[in-house]
Chain A
Amino acid sequence: MKLHEYQGRELLRRAGANVQEGRLAHTPEEVRAIAEEFGEPVVVKAQVHVGGRGKAGGVKFSPTPEKAYENAQNILGMDIKGLTVNKVLVTKAVDIDAGTEYYVGMIVDRNVGSYTLMASSEGGMDIEEVAAATPEKIIHHRVDPITGLRPFEARDIALKAGFKGNLNKIADMMVKLSEAAFERDAVLVEINPLFVDADGTPMVLDTKFEVDDNAMFRHRDLADWRELEAEHPLEVEASEYGFAYVKLDDGNGGVLGNGAGIVMTSLDVVNRAGAKPANFLDIGGGAKADVVYNAVKLVSKDPDVKSIFINIFGGITRADEVAKGVIQALDEGILTKPVRMRIAGTAEDEAKALLNEKSSDLIKMYPTMFEAAEEAAKEANSAAEGK
């Protein structure tokens, strides 16, 4: 689960990190009141789940409460990469020139089997750009999952990364970051920039925080932070069914299958066949008819989807259950787009018998995934052209 900046700040603050003061607001009036209360220049920051807010005009320095009000009027309601801004964070402004900006982040790193802590003197920038242009400016350190990051390691990293300031306080901030990552099952936590003021004291100015969905069962307090209205409605519905679902941009063909690997391969096959996948949908292992029915219902709802490619290789999943789910969707009138499918494996013959009984142009079976994908792509492309 991706957290908003204000939520990520809260978790770091609870972990004991020095986080710059800020307050959440939903209206320009609230923003003005907060700015007046702070009595200092403020920054108004859009709270949306996408990167590049600054470049999109979603982060504005505001020297007076009136200017903060004006900026909030512009930012609230703004569309950033398809998401509407409906709240802003108001923080005290910091004189960046009076200190130094650094980067520290913890990411899950499968290559070392743990978190890697990254530290760089190039703060305030997109870390991927730094990695691409000047990889030598990023220090990587594997954090031991049993001990976590220890102060002596943090001091060493800070020195290697060229951080200037109070070494103990900076190291302590990094230890707190590590603790927050483990404690909250982070997939990723970044402090960027980590601002070190003229006195050498570090402070969190901005953060990115993402929690492992698999660990949400032990972070029930964070579940309340999830904002369904900030997510794609089809993704919300998919998560209610327990599907791994990703909406893909510019697609015209729905894709579903049983297992992440086969769905990824299905996307590849649809691409090769000349259509564009509109989604990734994994119904998981052992799905029964009702699960398949829900999957078909979900994909059919997407207006971008012109045809549906179903690719099943039954192992634990029974092919006849898949067939039953698709047939139910057809019978109930939910299925209005052509389904082109390949079903093989466990209970394949039973599935074919069921589908052969139903003669409908909307559902057709093919012996290989390639033929099914070709036909699905043809249907998708001709429907898209006919529009």
Chain B
Amino acid sequence: MGILVGKDSRVIVQGMTGSEGAKHSRAMKEFGTNVVAGVTPGKGGQDFEGWPIYNTVAEAKEQHDANVSIIFVPPFGAADAVLEAAYAGIPLIILITEGVPTTDMMKAVQEVSRLSEENKAQGGQGIRLIGGNCPGLVTNGECKVGIMPNRIYQNPGRIGLISRSGTLTYEAAKLLNDAGMGTSTTVGIGGGPIIGTTFADVLPMFEADPDTDAVVVIGEIGGADEEAAAEYIAQNMKKPVVAFISGRSAPKGKRMGHAGAIIMGDVGTPESKLAAFKAANVPVADTMPEIIDLVKKALNQ
């Protein structure tokens, strides 16, 4: 099993007929994910490589009882696609798109959160948005709703992985594989300044997951998500957590690709993140391979 997705996930792809959407729909299917339909406004009624295409998320959900949506819609329409899925009642929405305007993300994240609270108040399960600018998530050997390379997720293991960076997620997953440990669920939360789900949101899921023994958190400079994660770990986590921080040598005030990876004043510095993890007794790896040593050590304690 794992967290968030599994064999029961019935996935729709918003933007399936675009080049990225098509490519990753195929890759998810190869992985074994139950991709049930696609949504492309204006192409409703068409068949795409065996998948039915719908004009709206609501139709796709109704026809297939979909419970997860992954979004490959270009930046200008991405936030709208998120809201369409949320209003259609999809409980888990993964926004892959990179470069969504920040003000759009602000509005979408807040509206999804309000809808989620309303759903819960009416006895529903709430709505979770993961991303944008993220690689998605994969429960090893079971279900992938994302763009991670399939071949590094063939051997299920018992280490949970949460990361702000796509490529470093793959790197860490491969290191864990090569070390004979493997991952349970990997969650790429995304590197943008405003994202739907944070480290601190995912940690409790891993804490409660019977298939996860330890968690690796891959953070980077900028923002205070790592600090919030450290605080959560110190107060609530019984399972061991190991961290890595990327961009420790980056100069202040320069935006390093990820819009979120910028140091403003003393907020988001490597020093403040390292101090927060230290205070929470979370070992921080100096290099990626050291993550493996620290996980082994933590599991043996």
A interface residue numbers (CB < 8 A to B): 107-108, 110-111, 113-115, 128, 131-132, 144-146, 182, 185, 187, 212, 214-215, 217-218, 244, 246, 248-249, 257-265, 267-269, 271-272, 277, 280, 282, 285, 313-316, 344-346, 368-370
- Whether, in the assembled complex, B259 has its beta carbon less than 8 Å from a beta carbon of chain A, the answer is yes
Per a CB cutoff under 8 Å, which of B193, B220, B288 touches A110? B193
- Whether, in the assembled complex, B106 has its beta carbon less than 8 Å from a beta carbon of chain A, the answer is yes
Q: Are A113 and B109 in contact (CB under 8 A)?
A: yes
Knowing A110-B193, A315-B148, say if A259 contacts B254 (CB, 8 Å): no
Q: Are B171 and A313 in contact (CB under 8 A)?
A: yes
Q: Using Cβ atoms and an 8 Å threshold, which residues of chain B touch A182? A: 103
A114, B107: Cα distance in complex, Å:
8
Q: Using Cβ atoms and an 8 Å threshold, which residues of chain A touch B259? A: 214
B213-230, CB < 8 A from A: 218, 220-225, 228
Q: Using Cβ atoms and an 8 Å threshold, which residues of chain A touch B148? A: 315
Q: Are B101 and A260 in contact (CB under 8 A)?
A: no
Q: Using Cβ atoms and an 8 Å threshold, which residues of chain B touch A244? A: 256-257
Q: Are A264 and B166 in contact (CB under 8 A)?
A: no
- Whether, in the assembled complex, B260 has its beta carbon less than 8 Å from a beta carbon of chain A, the answer is yes
Closest to B251 in A: A248
Q: Using Cβ atoms and an 8 Å threshold, which residues of chain B touch A346? A: 149, 151
- Whether, in the assembled complex, B76 has its beta carbon less than 8 Å from a beta carbon of chain A, the answer is yes
Of all A-B residue pairs in the complex, the 6 with the closest CB atoms, nearest first, are A261-B165, A260-B257, A259-B167, A264-B247, A215-B101, A145-B106
16 A-B pairs with C-beta separation under 8 A: A113-B109, A146-B110, A185-B103, A212-B101, A212-B103, A215-B103, A215-B104, A217-B75, A246-B254, A249-B251, A259-B165, A262-B246, A267-B249, A280-B254, A280-B257, A313-B174
- Whether, in the assembled complex, B194 has its beta carbon less than 8 Å from a beta carbon of chain A, the answer is yes
Q: Using Cβ atoms and an 8 Å threshold, which residues of chain B touch A265? A: 168, 246-247, 288
- Whether, in the assembled complex, B265 has its beta carbon less than 8 Å from a beta carbon of chain A, the answer is yes
Q: Using Cβ atoms and an 8 Å threshold, which residues of chain A touch B80? A: none
Q: Are B247 and A316 in contact (CB under 8 A)?
A: no
Knowing A215-B102, A244-B257, A269-B287, say if A114 contacts B167 (CB, 8 Å): no
- Whether, in the assembled complex, B111 has its beta carbon less than 8 Å from a beta carbon of chain A, the answer is yes
A249, B246: Cα distance in complex, Å:
20
Q: Using Cβ atoms and an 8 Å threshold, which residues of chain B touch A145? A: 103, 106-107, 110
Q: Using Cβ atoms and an 8 Å threshold, which residues of chain A touch B195? A: 110
Q: Are B258 and A214 in contact (CB under 8 A)?
A: no
Shortest CB distance B224–A (Å): 5
Contact with A along B79-115 (1 / 0, CB 8 A): 0000000000000000000111111101101110000
Q: Using Cβ atoms and an 8 Å threshold, which residues of chain A touch B152? A: 345
Most chain A beta-carbon neighbours within 10 Å: one of B101, B147, B220, B260: B101
Knowing A260-B191, A262-B165, say if A110 contacts B260 (CB, 8 Å): yes
Q: Using Cβ atoms and an 8 Å threshold, which residues of chain A touch B247? A: 264-265, 267-268
Number of B residues, CB within 8 Å of A: 62
Q: Are A280 and B101 in contact (CB under 8 A)?
A: no
Q: Using Cβ atoms and an 8 Å threshold, which residues of chain B touch A218? A: 76, 101
Closest to B135 in A: A315
- Whether, in the assembled complex, B273 has its beta carbon less than 8 Å from a beta carbon of chain A, the answer is no
Per a CB cutoff under 8 Å, which of A110, A257, A260 touches B194? A110
Shortest CB distance B240–A (Å): 23
Knowing A110-B194, A345-B170, say if A185 contacts B249 (CB, 8 Å): no
| Other 17 A-B pairs with CB < 8 A, given A264-B165, A313-B170, A346-B151 | A108-B102, A110-B195, A128-B265, A212-B103, A215-B104, A217-B76, A244-B256, A246-B255, A259-B257, A261-B164, A261-B218, A261-B246, A269-B287, A313-B174, A315-B170, A345-B170, A345-B174
Q: Are A264 and B221 in contact (CB under 8 A)?
A: yes
Q: Using Cβ atoms and an 8 Å threshold, which residues of chain B touch A185? A: 101-103
A258, B193: Cα distance in complex, Å:
20
Closest to A258 in B: B167
Q: Using Cβ atoms and an 8 Å threshold, which residues of chain B touch A260? A: 165, 191, 220, 256-258, 261
Closest to A277 in B: B249
Shortest CB distance A196–B (Å): 26
Per a CB cutoff under 8 Å, which of B98, B151, B163, B256 touches A246? B256
Q: Are A114 and B254 in contact (CB under 8 A)?
A: no
Shortest CB distance A287–B (Å): 12
Closest to A215 in B: B101
Knowing A111-B223, A268-B247, say if A315 contacts B147 (CB, 8 Å): yes
Q: Using Cβ atoms and an 8 Å threshold, which residues of chain A touch B234? A: none
Shortest CB distance A127–B (Å): 9
Shortest CB distance B118–A (Å): 14
Q: Using Cβ atoms and an 8 Å threshold, which residues of chain A touch B248? A: 268
A91, B100: Cα distance in complex, Å:
37
Closest to B249 in A: A271
Closest to A184 in B: B103
Q: Using Cβ atoms and an 8 Å threshold, which residues of chain B touch A344? A: 174
Closest to A265 in B: B246
Q: Are A187 and B261 in contact (CB under 8 A)?
A: no
A157, B149: Cα distance in complex, Å:
49
Shortest CB distance B72–A (Å): 12
Per a CB cutoff under 8 Å, which of B102, B111, B147, B250 touches A212? B102
Q: Are B218 and A113 in contact (CB under 8 A)?
A: no
Q: Are B166 and A285 in contact (CB under 8 A)?
A: yes
Closest to B24 in A: A316
Shortest CB distance B186–A (Å): 12
A130, B100: Cα distance in complex, Å:
32
Q: Using Cβ atoms and an 8 Å threshold, which residues of chain A touch B223? A: 110-111
Q: Are B171 and A262 in contact (CB under 8 A)?
A: yes
Most chain A beta-carbon neighbours within 10 Å: one of B111, B148, B221, B261: B261
